[in-house]
Amino acid sequence: MAMGTAVMRHPSTCVSPALPLPPSVGTSYSIRDQHMSSNTPTMSSHQPGVRPRGIQRGLSWCAVLLLLLAPLLASAQLAQRYSVNTTGDVEMIGNTLLTCTNNSPNNCAQAQAGTVTADNNRAMGYVNIDNANLPATGVGGWTLYRNSSRATLSLPAGSTVLSAGLYWGGRAATTGAAATARETVYLRQPGGTSYQAITADAADVYTFTGQGAAASRPYTAFANVTTLIQSAGNGDYYVGGLTALTGNDGLGFYGGWGLIVVYENAGKPFRRLMVFDGDGGTVNNNTQPISVSGLLTPPIGNFDAYMGALVWEGDDGIGGDQFLLGGAGAVSPGALSDAQSPIGNFWNSRIARLGTLFTAKDPNYVNQFALDLKLVDISNIPANLGKPHVANNATTVDLSFTSTGDVYFPHALVFVSDLYRPEVVPTLEKTAVKVGGSPGPDLHPGDIIEYTIDFHNQGLDGAIRTVASDPIPAGLTYVPGSIQILQDDGDPSHVGSKTDATDADIAEFVAGDGPNGTLYFRVGNGATGGVPPPTVQGGTLLPGQGVILKYRATIDPGFGGGTITNVVSISHGSLTFPDDPDQTVSGTADTDVSVTPLPALLLAKTASPNAIPDAAGQTSQFTLTVHTYSDAVSGVNVTDTLPANWAYVAGSTTITLPGGGVITGVAADPTGMPGPNLSWNLGQNMAANQQMTIVFSAITTAAPGGDSINNAQASGTSGGGPLNANASATVGISNLLISKVANPTMASPGDTVTYTVTLTNNGSTRQSHLVVNDPLAAGTTYVPQSTVATGHVLIDADYFDQFPAIAFNGSNGSINWSGSPWTKTDSDPSVSNGSIRVVANAACTAGNCLRIRPQNTARFIYREADLTSAACSAAESVTLSYDYNNQLGAAAGDRAVSAFLYTGNTQRAPLGVFNISNQGTSGTVNYTLSGAEIAADTRIRFNITGTGGDSNTRYVYFDNVRFTCHNAATTPATRDNVPAGANPDLSSGVPSTLVTAGDKFALGPGQSMTVTYQVTVDAGATGQLVNTASASSPQTPNPIQGSATVLVPNPALTLTALTLTKSASPASVTQAGDVITYTFSVENTGNVTLTNVNVSDPLLGSLVCTPIASLAPGATASLSCTGNSYTVTQGDIDGNGGRAARRRADLR
């Protein structure tokens, strides 16, 4: 509040300027003082060391009285107006209705623009941008005060307004018509031209009786406008007709309005959104505190939080007022600040959000002249390190207003914080697969459908009382005994088949619930059986834990066709707020299946194998199955059209007739051989519900060049007339390649040889269930910690995605990534860029590392270690460490990656969260394990905790993950288990097979996998060491091979051998006259030292090189030469296509 020299009209009277009331109410008011006695308190004795601007000794008792009353303002409290936990945010807009009118004491335009410091203890007048639409009179018929301003509300698309409050304030008389007029302002909504009276309840109008004279008391008012804002939505809002004084009385006149909107939006984080309001004043170290309770911020990692307020009479030119964050839930408690709110003068007449001025208003003044409407950041993020912010696991925080030199009036306060909650419903998925009945993919009555229900907790709080229920819809009948729990991370002992009865297990089918019965599943840790005691209830799913449920249903034989919708529901509560009904949530997911009536005639076709090499002479066997159903069909014939480059194999057909008879050999051959149009003119009569099969083979006459589609048709006649049924089968191209390279190709005992094995799918079809075998050559020993696996590896539905080799690449026992057995479950082969991949780029601190893109739901990857074996069994301490490089951006839709410590499927401790709030950070996490955390199956697990995410550009990289066992008497060591199926000898360095049959993986078309590893040549090994790797798959049943040979000379024999390498620069030329310079290097690949090594080149007639005097076995050297340049002729260009001239060079 601006405190200036009082206007004196009589030595013993403080008079307030007259309020511009309607002409019929032209009354002025004054307050008479008492004679000041000799013991009247002075300014210095009441407020030591503080003298507000303009207060001079000898002031009237009226002015001193105001100062004496000011501390009493702190007794008023702000009370909670609205609170909700939801996905959403709070928006605050508003504008001033008074501004400066002249250039005293400084330039008014500069004051409005904020380029000079200015307060409202000057001549103040109305802002009025919409006078034409403002009504002439207001409620009760009085003349309306001519002021109006605009602000624009812009909520994100898809928002729902939950609460909206309109706040206004100014200075006015407390008696007469003005007292009533203060209760009402006028609002024009977006798109409208007329104003609507908004009147506050009497309890929501507050007068500061200790400030100013009776004819000029500060007041505040509030009205609930939720319904209006819900209806009008985004756009321009105008407020006017505010009852407020103008002019100048030395204390300062002001007026304005604010709109605080709480809204829900699915794209926003789950948050606590709170609004407090009421009235209070703060002056000279009298603090106005507010405690916000009932919170629970995330226990680890970063999160967003904001606090803000609407405050009147905060002056640009008077310092000392602060906005404080404190209490047990605060980190670095103290005064807040941002770019628009200095730490020593927070309330400085600005409207701003998170340090940015709000400009969507008219007039768009920077200085609001005693109106502040602000939101400030108190997020738990690295950028706020050392600043006041909210702590992890906070349940309460204290917000305070204080000042050492100003009077101001807090009117409303908002608090926004991300919350810690379970999130299960968004992950709920239900799928349906045909598993029995009629042939082909289409669904018909009598077919069996297997339903899979999949959900997991992607939040940061445990989900309790977790229950799924699935009513069987009309048209389906539950298949008895088909309930299965495929996964329950909350309690893995639940996995397996369950009885249909309501008994001690966690699932049942209740035939009497609903028209066709209902399935119930109680899952998670602590889930009970269906019969009390104990209380029948679901269990707990901790963050990252998931469930997969299955059951089967039969389509009723009498179902007439159409869509069947099957809906599953889940419900759960919150582990942290177990008794809060608002935290008990439920949701549904459904799947639709389309059912068509059974036709009289149905044809199905399959091919085996369904992928072949792209070459002539490849054979596939085709099976045609003809079915009849409700009607008999006569004269059934079958035709088959072979694709290009295919021919029928004579004598390959076997026909199984409906009655069980079999036709084979020449008698079963079709007409039209060898194709492409094959016909089996059987004229077979088939009764209802019969089947006939035709099995034949075809062979490629030339390379197909792509997928081959084979079409067939069955025809016949029923009572309704002619019938036709069609089917097809596709044979793809299988082109699996393997290569193996040894470096070097000649070695001596004790030397190290590096092998590189590359597997490439160069075909058009996916190579699934791949098996790679690579036995080490006799005479070699595997080098521990030498394996590196890179490339894109998919997953088969029945297998974990395991890199096909174990890798120990770190120093001192530290485990590096480099293709080690990280396990990814619930993967998605269709994600071409991969949510979880091993990469090698600048973001990795050392070699390969794990890259996680938080794009897809239900992805996690873990590193498992046996911390009970060998060096770890007697460890004095065990530490888990990993490096991270977080490059997640702040784009909409980005989600978090969380790290947890598990033993088996039991979560032990959260380790860290990487999300958009700590973008661009890197560092190392160290965690000391204890107690049950040290086990044979201790895991670090990284979860992708939500759906969404950007395209391909932002990731979190994890590197150098290690469990280190510290023992005083031994070198720190790290032990790790070997993945299922891999040779356990890998950990001891003496494997017989590098990649075993148990390591199965898949490659999509165009994808490849490369494994490198090292061996040492054993003492006494001689001759050719041949190492052969092989690979096979269902699509490539005949194993393909790649070999590499290393020659180990017999040291007892003399072997002289030289290898010459000739290089040209440049590698290509374009015209005659270009000059090519050649260089030469030699390698002694024999086992004796060579002397006087030299080179000659017929192309270079003037070539002279300095001989190499001595070259030891295995040594390489470059020759120093002159005359080693060649000028290109036109003949070289004409006959060589622009390639560099090539000629033989000879060693001697």
User: pLDDT tens digits, residue range 410-466?
Assistant: 899 999 998 878 889 988 999 999 988 888 788 999 999 999 999 998 887 889 999
Higher pLDDT among residues 1070 and 910, named by residue? 1070
Q: What percent of the chain is predicted at pLDDT more than 90?
A: 44
Per-residue pLDDT at 635 exceeds 90 = yes
Higher-pLDDT residue of 813 and 138 is 138
* 169 DSSP β-pair partners: 220, 256
Q: What is the per-residue burial (b if ≥16 Cβ within 10 Å, else e) of 127-155? A: bbbbeeebeeebbeebbbbebbbbbebeb
- Has residue 914 got a pLDDT over 80? no
CA distance 912 to 690: 62
Confidence band, pLDDT 50/70/90 cuts, at residue 927: confident
When pLDDT is cut at 50, 70 and 90, the band that residue 473 belongs to is very high
Q: What is the pLDDT of residues 296-347, one digit of tens each?
A: 777 667 889 999 999 998 888 787 788 899 998 999 999 999 999 999 889 8
**Dihedral sign computed on CA atoms, order 606, 607, 610, 616:** negative
pLDDT score, position 519: 97
How many Cα atoms are found within 13 Å in the side-chain-facing hemisphere of 548? 10
Q: For residues 185 and 939, which has the higher predicted lDDT (pLDDT)?
A: 185
Cα(first)–Cα(last) distance of the chain, in Å? Answer: 101
For 154-206, write each residue's pLDDT tens digit: 999 999 999 999 999 999 999 888 999 999 999 999 999 999 999 999 999 99
Span 1018-1034, pLDDT tens digits: 998 988 899 888 888 87
Residue 601 near residue 578, CB atoms below 8 Å: no
What pLDDT was estimated at residue 147?
98
Per-residue confidence (pLDDT) for residue 989, from 0 to 100: 24
Nearest to 583 by CA among 80, 947, 86, 89: 86
CA distance 1027 to 164: 76
CATH architecture of residue range(s) 807-977: Sandwich (2.60)
Q: Please state the φ and ψ torsions of residue 191, each to the nearest 5 degrees.
A: 85, -10
Burial of 915 (0-12, 13-18, 19+ CB in 10 A): buried
Q: How far apart are CA 167 and CA 372, in angstroms?
A: 12
Q: In the chain, what percentage of residues exceed pLDDT 70?
A: 76
Residue 280 has pLDDT above 60, yes or no: yes
- The pLDDT of residue 443 is 92
| pLDDT above 60: residue 45 | no
* Spatial contact of 535 and 569, defined as CB atoms under 8 Å apart: no
Checking if the pLDDT of 214 tops 60, the result is yes
Show Cβ contacts of residue 105 under 8 Å, excluding neighbours closer than 6 positions: 118, 122
Beta bridge partners of 880: 927, 963
Q: What average pLDDT does range 1066-1089 have in this prediction?
A: 89
Angstrom distances, CA of residue 169 to CA of 33, 75, 295: 28, 20, 31
Dump pLDDT digits (tens) for 541-550.
988 888 999 9
- Across 454-479, average pLDDT: 92
**Which range among 69-73, 337-341, 921-925 has the greatest average pLDDT?**
337-341
Q: Which CATH architecture has domain 734-786+982-1050?
A: Sandwich (2.60)
Helix (H/G/I), strand (E/B), else coil: 823: strand
d(CA 359, CA 365) in angstroms, rounded, equals 8
Residue pair 402/314 in contact by the 8 Å Cβ criterion: no
Which stretch of 75-89, 460-474, 536-550, 592-606 has the lowest confidence by average pLDDT? 75-89
Alpha-carbon distances of 571 from 17, 522, 547, 582, 589, rounded to whole Å: 64, 10, 13, 12, 12
Q: Per mean pLDDT, which range of 52-56, 350-354, 537-541 is the poorest?
A: 52-56
What ranges do the domains of the chain cover?
75-418, 425-595, 601-733, 734-786+982-1050, 807-977, 1058-1147
Average pLDDT of the segment spanning 1052-1059: 79
Judge whether residue 271 has pLDDT over 70: yes
Q: What is the pLDDT of residue 848?
A: 56
723-771 pLDDT, tens digit per residue, is 999 999 999 888 889 999 999 998 999 999 998 888 888 888 877 767 7
- 963-1021 pLDDT, tens digit per residue, is 676 654 433 333 222 233 322 222 222 222 223 223 345 677 887 877 777 889 999 89
Backbone angles phi, psi at 814, to 5 degrees: -70, 140
Indicate the class that CATH gives domain 425-595.
Answer: mainly beta
Q: How far apart are CA 977 and CA 936, in angstroms?
A: 8
User: Matching CATH topology for 601-733 and 807-977?
Assistant: no
Q: What is the pLDDT of residue 969?
A: 42
pLDDT value, residue 875:
59
Residue 719 CB-density burial (10 A; 0-12 exposed, 13-18 middle, 19+ buried): exposed
Whole-angstrom distance, CA of residue 968 vs CA of residue 987: 23
Q: What pLDDT does residue 247 have?
A: 93
Whether the pLDDT of residue 364 is over 90: the answer is: yes
Host H or E run for residue 62: helix 61-69
Give per-residue pLDDT as tens, 776-831: 788 888 776 466 655 544 332 222 222 222 222 222 222 222 222 333 332 333 33
Query: With 80 as the cut, is the pLDDT of residue 610 above it?
Result: yes
Residue 506: band (very low, low, confident or very high) from pLDDT cuts 50, 70, 90: very high
Domain 601-733 has CATH 3.40.50.1370: no
Q: Is the pLDDT of residue 643 over 80?
A: yes
Asked which of 91-95, 320-324, 723-727, 1102-1106 is least confident by mean pLDDT, the reply is: 320-324
Which two tokens mark 1091?
């002397």
486: phi then psi, degrees, rounded to nearest 5: -85, -30
Q: Name the pTM for this structure.
A: 0.52
DSSP 386: T
With a cut of 50, say whether residue 878 has pLDDT above it: yes
pLDDT score at 225: 98
Q: Is residue 130's pLDDT more than 70? A: yes
> Which amino acid, 245?
L
pLDDT value at 279 more than 80? no
Residue pair 728/990 in contact (Cβ under 8 Å)? The answer is no
